[in-house]
Amino acid sequence: MMKNKRVILQDWGLTDYKVAWERQEQLFGETVKLKTEIRNRQSLVVAGDEPGDEILTPNYLVFCEHPHVYTLGKSGKAEHLLLDEAGLKEKNAVYYPINRGGDITYHGPGQLVCYPILDLDNFFTDIHLYLRTLEEAVILTLAHYGLTAGRYPGYTGVWFDGDNDKARKICAMGVRCSRWVTMHGLALNVNPDLNYFKNIVPCGIDDKAVTSMQRELGREVNLNDVEKILTQHISVLFGMEVA
């Protein structure tokens, strides 16, 4: 299969989580279906039939924000949500168990969410490298603002002081991958209301803090600027042609 490095950039703005999830599923499903068709055409080539023009799978890089929402990954525990239905209503938040990896996390205004819907056959077929590359893009983005971040051994995401007792998480990650097509992604805390994290055990880790760029810098940060810088680092690290 020929590789397609071209990536379609989309900004969905402030989008309800369920709506964004359904839109992801549609793009994801279309790509998986297309890969099946490509494999079938390739089998015709082996059989000696004429396949016609080469078909390339698409790639998408989606950015958005969500209204207040808590999402629970497949490996998470429901008790890590510390609110009942009345509490969710009081906080003007909703809750969804979803099909990504990881435990529970929060999304809300001021948080930059990135959903890469990529056919990794176009880049590299290594899910661990995929996660580490996304982390590296976030680390480089934070460095642009003078913030020194890194990793916390044994966990995904991006942290400050991951090697000592001051460890605090600034970017959560959770992905789904099928037939090397990805969905879901990362959530970078730029200017969110961090009080919402007090209503969960973030990512199932009950003894570490959560932080934001605003808290670390002592000022609000322009979300659109962060999106542009993060896009640039993702495109370079993956060798993408972003359009």
Catalytically active residues are 203
In the numeric block, the tokens 């810098």 are attached to 217
3-state secondary structure of 27: helix
3-state secondary structure of 118: coil
Distance (Å, whole) CA 37 – CA 58: 13
3-state secondary structure of 151: coil
Listing from the earlier edge strand, what are the strands of the sheet with 104-107?
94-97, 69-72, 104-107
Residue 237 identity: L
3-state secondary structure of 202: helix
Distance (Å, whole) CA 98 – CA 73: 5
User: Under 8 Å CB-to-CB from 71, ≥6 apart: which residues?
Assistant: 17, 95, 96, 97, 98, 100, 104, 105, 107
β-strand partners of 183: 176
3-state secondary structure of 148: coil
